[in-house]
Chain A
Amino acid sequence: MLDATLGGSTPITVDSIQSSYTAQVKRRRLYGGLTLLIFVLLMVSGFNVADDRNAGGFWDGLHQIGDYPADVLSEAWEKRAELPGLVAKYFPALVETINIAAVSTLIGALGGLFLSLLGTRGLAKWPRLIPLFRRISDIMRAVPEIVIALMLIFVMGGGPVPAMIAIAIHTAGALGKMFSEVAENADLKPVEGLASTGATWSQRMLLGVLPQVAPNYVSYSLLRFEVNIRASAILGFVGAGGLGYELRNAMAWGPGRFDEAAAIFILLFGTIVFFDQISSHYRNRLTEGQGQ
């Protein structure tokens, strides 16, 4: 009886398992194929739309990619004797670009610190206002730097300060989010211990939370510093001073002054690579002991 049931039902079960498995595989393949198809369609049609709305076509422009760099490089090579002088000439602009990035990272990190502590559950001074501080940091993060920079340039005139404020606002929002993800994982025991001794909120944060999160915070700030150097160069291009501004001027002169553009390219490239290397070295050191 028992045997019969077992013997009778087992083949059916195996069959049904197999068929349901193949059905599942088929369905998954179908979904995967459909997703892939939609993705390819999106890519192709997107490319065509972008190509249509571009001033020059992709296929016409493709073989011209090298022309401009080749012009710049050949002219810079002809005037290579003057290159060190030009690099020295634009060095102050480079310092300004780096200063914009550094100051805005410092201010932004400070702002992000407050936003993160005030917007993290368990740490916030006013728990009811957590959503408010989160939304503030979301909005600050969403505003592209160029928006604030252009409006401030209108009000204050060109120069490094509009760029600095614009980048600092965005940095505060971006770091606020990353910081609060770290702060959420912070151990609350030291905070409770400090609270039991009657420590104020700022004392609890300074002595209880900051020592735990400092390595991560510094590491994120360094990463942000790399990003901000690029942002500050780009904002210079729309009139906010520094190396980007000089680059735009040098480009506007066109052929004959390509050596200046080349000098700026070299400075910018060198700076970005240099600070990337330094920052990644220190970030690795800071996060070394994290896994244990």
Chain B
Amino acid sequence: MTTADLTLTKEHAANLFRRKRLIGFSIPAVIAVYFIYIFFAFDLPGLAQRASLEKAVTLFSDSWSHKVHVTRNNRTGEIDYAVEGERKGRYPEGERPDWVTGDEIITIDLGADHIVRYLPNNRTEVEIPGFPMIEVQAEGRSLTTNLPADLPDWISASKRRIGITTPEGRITLTGARTEVFNYFPGWELFWFTLDSPYHGHGVTEILFGEQLDPSRSNVAGAVTDWWNNKMWRHRDVAWAIGETILMAFLGTMGAAMLALPLAFVAAKRFSPIMVVRAATRRVFDFVRGVDALIWTVVLARAFGPGPLTGALAILITDTGTFGKIFSEALENVDQKQIEGVTSTGAKPLQRYRFGVIPQVVPVLLAQILYFLESNTRSATIIGAITGGGIGLMLTQAIQTQKDWEEVAYYIVLVIAMVMFMDWFSGWLRAKLIGRKD
């Protein structure tokens, strides 16, 4: 190698390095500039103001706790005890939580010396440590109190409404009603609602204890009452999860069955006519490009909301995806095996069955099972749009903006469902085509 050559190569190498360095620095720079643009395009400064920390706190505390309402109707003087203030969670006549005592004067012990007393004639006393006793008299639609003008920030008071928030519980008073919310950790009534004879009994008591309901055996009765729990709706939830999985299953398998013959038409090896091939491919591209969202919208017009619509939306979209993948797999099959089958005098259909299918089945199965798992997740989202399955229950629970413990329950179930399908499809794949490295 001459010196001239060497300098030339050196210069060449230096150029290469310079270019690489330029690329190495410019890519992060471009990304940084893009993020700055996004920062303003998505209005992040404005978002910081709009986001409400209070809502986030409610969301998180409600998702793992529940509250029991003690409500006095100031017109009739009646007192109601209900979990989450819902009719389904109301204590039966004559029963009440054990932190409420007294007949004439109802004493509610919120814990840590926070005490609320419902006195006759719509009077209320609130005792909070480190604060003078609060007395409130409800008359018609207005309230008279002994509250000072200068209030701490955990009390809000007007002539019509007083709200007191303490770490132990919340108290709201209006002319019409006086309400105390006592917070507890855990998901109350998850197993049995208050009207079930099994509420408040442990597992061992139900399994081995004496018969609690004379008309039913313990286990059968407990299972029925749990299954039909009105608060948590275990039966509906189970159906919803079944529907979601069903959508994914029907959609994926239906798509695979439709796509397989079409893939033969689209593969160069098996379909000699160019026009037919190209047309099939464009069909695949089209149904894939239209996307599940639009298919869902269009199909919901024809079939109405429900799991079938979701299944068909998945089916149509994935027919395109599978068609593309399958036809690529078919292009790559080994010709020798087909020739071998042909040499035995096999007809075209038999050639496909014994020469081609065994070669592509592992690839196809792996793809189908992968999509089954991924479609379970899509089915949750499609269900939220088209109205079926766990996705719908989840969006409905979120839209009420108060049943966060139910939202938390559904989220746990959805994650468990997806992880189960992930595990199941992996297990099935290992069973059917063997573990591959």
A: which residues have CB within 8 A of B? Answer: 39, 42-43, 46-47, 49-51, 53-58, 61-62, 64-65, 67-69, 96, 99, 102-103, 106, 138-139, 141-147, 150-151, 154-157, 159-161, 164, 230, 233-234, 237-238, 244, 247, 251, 265, 268-269, 272-273, 276
- When C-beta atoms are compared, the residue in chain A nearest to B418 turns out to be A142
Q: Is the CB of B398 within 8 A of A154?
A: yes
| Cα-based distance from A39 to B253 in the complex (angstroms) | 10
| A53: chain B residues within 8 A (beta carbon) | 243, 306-308, 388
Determine which of B285, B306, B381 lies in contact with A55 in the assembled complex, contact meaning CB atoms within 8 Å.
Answer: B306
Q: Which residues of B40-59 have CB atoms within 8 Å of chain A's CB atoms?
A: 41-44, 47, 50-52, 55-56, 59
Given contact pairs A53-B388, A154-B401, A273 touches B289 in the complex (Cβ within 8 A): yes
Q: List 13 A-B contacts (CB under 8 A).
A: A50-B307, A54-B307, A58-B308, A61-B303, A62-B302, A143-B411, A144-B380, A147-B414, A156-B52, A234-B381, A265-B290, A268-B291, A269-B291
Determine which of A47, A50, A65, A160 lies in contact with B42 in the assembled complex, contact meaning CB atoms within 8 Å.
Answer: A160
Determine which of B35, B308, B384, B415 lies in contact with A142 in the assembled complex, contact meaning CB atoms within 8 Å.
Answer: B415
- When C-beta atoms are compared, the residue in chain A nearest to B385 turns out to be A237
B89 at interface, CB cutoff 8 A:
no
The minimal Cβ–Cβ distance linking A111 to chain B, given in whole angstroms, is 14
Determine which of B288, B297, B304, B381 lies in contact with A247 in the assembled complex, contact meaning CB atoms within 8 Å.
Answer: B297
Q: Is the CB of A68 within 8 A of B308?
A: no
Q: Is the CB of A58 within 8 A of B303?
A: yes
Q: Is the CB of A155 within 8 A of B307?
A: no
Interface string of B366-409 (1 = CB under 8 A from A): 00000000000100110011011001001100100100000100
Given contact pairs A65-B302, A67-B301, A233 touches B47 in the complex (Cβ within 8 A): no
| A139: chain B residues within 8 A (beta carbon) | 415, 419
B176 at interface, CB cutoff 8 A:
no
**Nearest 6 pairs of A and B residues by beta carbon:** A54-B306, A55-B304, A56-B304, A54-B308, A61-B303, A68-B301
B: which residues have CB within 8 A of A? Answer: 31, 34-35, 38, 41-44, 47, 50-52, 55-56, 59, 243, 246-247, 249-250, 253-254, 285, 288-294, 297-299, 301-309, 311, 377, 380-381, 384-385, 387-388, 391, 394-395, 398, 401, 407, 411, 414-415, 418-419, 422
Q: Is the CB of B289 within 8 A of A272?
A: yes
| Cα-based distance from A269 to B384 in the complex (angstroms) | 22
| B311: chain A residues within 8 A (beta carbon) | 50
Q: Is the CB of A244 within 8 A of B51?
A: no
20 new A-B contacts, CB < 8 A, other than A106-B31, A161-B42, are: A42-B249, A43-B250, A50-B250, A50-B311, A53-B306, A54-B304, A54-B309, A103-B34, A103-B42, A142-B418, A144-B377, A147-B414, A155-B51, A155-B55, A157-B47, A159-B42, A230-B292, A237-B385, A247-B293, A269-B294
Q: Is the CB of A244 within 8 A of B43?
A: no
| Cα-based distance from A69 to B294 in the complex (angstroms) | 10
